[in-house]
Structure 1
Amino acid sequence: MMTTTSDYLARLDVALRDVPHGVAAEIRAGIAEELSSLGPDAAEQRIAQLGDPAVIAREAMDAGGYVPPAAFAPAVVPAPVPLTRSRGFAIAAAIALSFGGFLVPFVGGLVGAVMVVMSGMWRTWEKVVAICAPLVLFGVVLLFSLPAYTTTAVEVHEASGTGTAPEAVNPLLPTVYDFGHVSILVLVVVAIPASGLWLLWRMRGRTAAL
């Protein structure tokens, strides 16, 4: 019967492994002392009365308010965020769209536009607005400037064809050409940078998963 007692104590040790050491040692020592003082038949009866060691361990945990540690599991490493879906890439794209053309004319702005298209931080309509709005404004300014340029050229040609000197132009007053140049300058200096800054404003509070 000593084998039965030994087996029971071994099962008890396994069941008590999640119980705090001090409590588990006290329970195990008490049961071992009690069983060792009994004869074989009495020990067998006492083991039957004590019941499953797992129940003893659960009751000890409940009485002390202990929570068993979670079963060991390998740490789940989150998948890395693709570069094009990161906030850093989006910020670089917006800055390149706004000011890349100043550093490398045309090419810098084109690179910024491509980066904006690749970024996952904005919705499709936001990318379309940011890239196309300055182009549309440039087309509108150019469309309205062409008639003025054409009219001015015709007037100068006709005046010179009659042999009459063209009317003197006051250099202090803006001409049609001046308005056209200023419009294009404002478009390049204001509209294009504003589109990139607008993208940065739209990105506020967003995470990599849009």
Structure 2
Amino acid sequence: MAVKSVEEYIETHPSWRKELESLRAIMQNTELEECIKWGAPVYALQGKYVTGIAAFKNHCALWFFNGALLKENTILLHNAQEGKTKALRQIRFEKGDKIEPEILQKYVVESIENQREGKEIKPVTSNKLVVPSELKAAFKEDKDLEKSFQQLTKGKQREYADYIAEAKRESTKQSRLEKIKPMINKGQGLHDKYKSC
């Protein structure tokens, strides 16, 4: 079930309640707009995402969507997926770590200023669409599916192609293919349900 509010998000993570509430209080003392995006609290400036908070099994985190651009406040930042993540950075908190608003506020203020100045790291995407063989085979069997796929934007086509191609096992590729067929026929993108704030 998708959460609809920050309060609900915090309720679903009781072991991190205190930390999440502390991080939220820092965000609420800024001009950022609070919303739920990708199932977690996110904070935006004029519709552009600046920060977010999230709870995981072994830690909770304060996220910076363009954290790689921070120059003055960097010592606490971590790249969650070294080699994959270009812009996103996080500050992690484990149980017992002290959350110090006066220190974290500096990171948030610099992030807001970067956003206000229009600084951002654009994702690098390949322009070439590679349709996996499983999807090509499905098109041969179902011409309406192929027609629906061709009517999608190039970005949505790439999302579906990558979704199939990234699966390691053939059984996973087939189950993903079955999942996306009705979505393609409806003209939906793979990630459409996550794209509204």
- The TM-score, its normalising length taken from structure 2, stands at 0.19
**More relative contact order, 1 or 2 (CA 8 Å, 6+ apart):** 1
| Larger CA Rg, structure 1 vs 2 | 1
- The TM-score, its normalising length taken from structure 1, stands at 0.18
